[in-house]
Amino acid sequence: MNIFVTGGAGFIGSHLCERLLLLGHDLIVLDNFNDFYDPAIKRRNFAEVAETARRLGRSLTLSEGDIRDSRFLEMTLGEGEPEAVIHLAAMAGVRPSIERPALYAEVNLGGTLNLLDASRAAGVRRILFASSSSVYGNSPTVPFAESDPVDTPISPYAATKKGGELLCHTWHHLYGISIACLRFFTVYGPRQRPDLAIHKFARMLSRGEPLPIYGDGSTSRDYTYVDDIIDGVIKALEWTGGDIPRYGIFNLGESRPVALRRLVSVLEEAMGMPAQRVELPMQIGDVELTFADLTKSASQLGYRPSTEIESGIARFVAWFREEQRRVPGAPE
């Protein structure tokens, strides 16, 4: 199958592209290599994807562009004629979205609308949309199920992801496109973005710097290893196949929340370094807990994550150390 992947040079995107190539698919990857974090990191990610494609003899095309450019999308999708679109590109992060809400709306809502309509014009019948567990906000009901109301987002980022799901439903209803919206829960692993907690903490530990702990360390996240996330994306891609158009929302998490204080302890053990901790007030927009109910994902997709936090952190630390050795300064 020929598949169009937006954000394919990023953390999750590069892992997904490698898995799709291994499964025998050909890819068109769109990325704008923006400076939200060092573009050189994303270019190294894509170089590894390109090497996988070369080794396997699969077709891989890179289109550098922006999802806000509707004409560019129409041309790229029209010429590429993909059978499926996997939309990962977005402005990410809760806290930055509070500082730049208009940009997040422009990219995550406007860009998603552009992609949906360009996909429709190109005759694409299968779309996956990367949503987020952020849409649940501080829901009092745990674990979080896809049927829970998500009408009270607490950050612009969360609001744009909920809006993206609504746009996807509209295009499914109007044009009969099969669409799966995937709510990712705190993904970690090799190539994780340098601004995210595990990567940031590993870097600070390696320098002997104190770790900023927002709150008392009791906040918990459903940390999900990237390989498990990719398993879920592949299963969702299969779910969108068939002659009858479908629309669904699915949680992709680990369903085993880990408290921040425990996460730091696991990271200390994996790195063999004690951490200094500095407690700071909770930050606006942060939620106290994320916890995925996987009942629907298990029954409809066959999604069953299997990576314990200790194992996943050990794999991340092995990658982190190799990256420090191979590319000095790369995790900055």
What is the CATH number for 149?
Answer: 3.40.50.720
Triad 112, 114, 118: Cα angle to 5°: 120
Residue 318 lies in a domain: no
* pLDDT for residue 331: 45
Nearest to 323 by CA among 224, 223, 203: 203
pLDDT digits (tens, 9 = 90+) for 204-220: 999 999 999 888 888 99
* pLDDT for residue 215: 80
Alpha carbons 54 and 88: distance in angstroms, whole number: 23
Residue 241 lies in a domain: yes
* pLDDT for residue 287: 79
Grouping H, G, I as helix, E, B as strand and the rest as coil, residue 256 is coil
Residue 104 lies in a domain: yes
Residues 124, 69 contacting (CB under 8 angstroms): no
Alpha carbons 73 and 116: distance in angstroms, whole number: 10
Q: Which residues contact 189 (CB under 8 A, 6 or more apart)?
A: 11, 15, 225, 226, 227, 312, 315, 316, 319
Residue 203 lies in a domain: no
Residue of 37, 104, 136, 157 with catalytic role: 157
Which helix H or strand E contains 63, and what residues bound it? Answer: strand 60-64
Residues 231, 298 contacting (CB under 8 angstroms): no
pLDDT digits (tens, 9 = 90+) for 183-206: 999 999 999 999 999 999 999 999
What's the structural domain count of the chain? Answer: 1
Give the CA diameter of the chain: 57
Residue ranges for the chain with pLDDT beneath 70 = 328-332
What sign does the CA torsion over 169, 112, 17, 27 have?
Answer: positive
* pLDDT for residue 214: 85
Peptide bond into 328 cis (omega under 30): no
Q: Which residues pair with 168 in a beta bridge?
A: none
Task: Domain of residue 151: give its range.
Answer: 2-185+225-253+293-298
Residue 204 lies in a domain: no
Residue 67 lies in a domain: yes
Q: How many CB atoms lie within 10 A of CB 140?
A: 6
Nearest to 296 by CA among 129, 183, 188, 187: 183
Residue 32 lies in a domain: yes
46 half-sphere exposure, CB direction, 13 A CA radius: 23
Please indicate whether residue 157 is annotated as part of the active site: yes
Residue 46 lies in a domain: yes
Q: Which residues pair with 30 in a beta bridge?
A: 6, 63
Which pTM was predicted? 0.95
**Amino acid type, 82:** P
